[in-house]
Amino acid sequence: MADTLGIKATPPGMNVEIVNARSLSFSSSHEMHKIKKQGENQPQAAFEVFHGLNYWPFFLHYRDGIRTAGQASRQNLKTGHATLFTYYYIFYERSLL
């Protein structure tokens, strides 16, 4: 184990006392990405979603089921497509400072 402090949980069938850090369900020693906002946009070109964090967040962006770039400003996520649905997860965690 990486350490023995804090709260740790494993998936079923694993011994929390001997499992590697990477196999833990969660651990208070390792930060998890916290989701600020998740959503779906119907086809609409140049659509922007307001996140309001005032910094650049990490995000995942999918267009019609394919992971694509998307673009985040300090206040918005540029998403949207003229003919395809788009989907996103915006995290609290910062991208570049």
Partner 1 sequence: MINYGMSITKFGKNVLSDTDPLSYVFTSKFNTLKIWKVIERPITVPTSGIGHAFYTHGFGYKPAYLAYYQLDSDRSNNWFVDRTAIGSSLGNNTLDRRASTTVNSDTIDFSIEDANGEGGYLARVICFIFVDPIQNIFPTTNGIGKNNDYGIKVSAPGIDVTKAKTHELFISSKYPGLKFHMDKTVRLTIAAGGTYGSIKFEHGLGYPPAVIGMVEDFNNTTLHDSIPFGRVPQPAAESIESDKDFITVYVTTIVSGSDITYTMKVIVFKDKISVN
Of residues 7 through 36, those in contact with partner 1 by CB under 8 A are: 7, 9-12, 21-36
Q: Which of 1, 44, 81, 89 binds partner 1 (CB under 8 A)?
A: 89
- SS3 assignment, position 8: strand
Give the helix/strand (H/E) hosting 9. Answer: strand 8-9
Q: Which of 44, 47, 58, 84 binds partner 1 (CB under 8 A)?
A: 58
- Is residue 3 involved in binding partner 1 (CB under 8 A)? no
Give the interface with partner 1 as residue ranges (CB under 8 A).
6-7, 9-12, 21-36, 38-40, 56, 58-62, 64-74, 78, 85, 87-89, 92-96
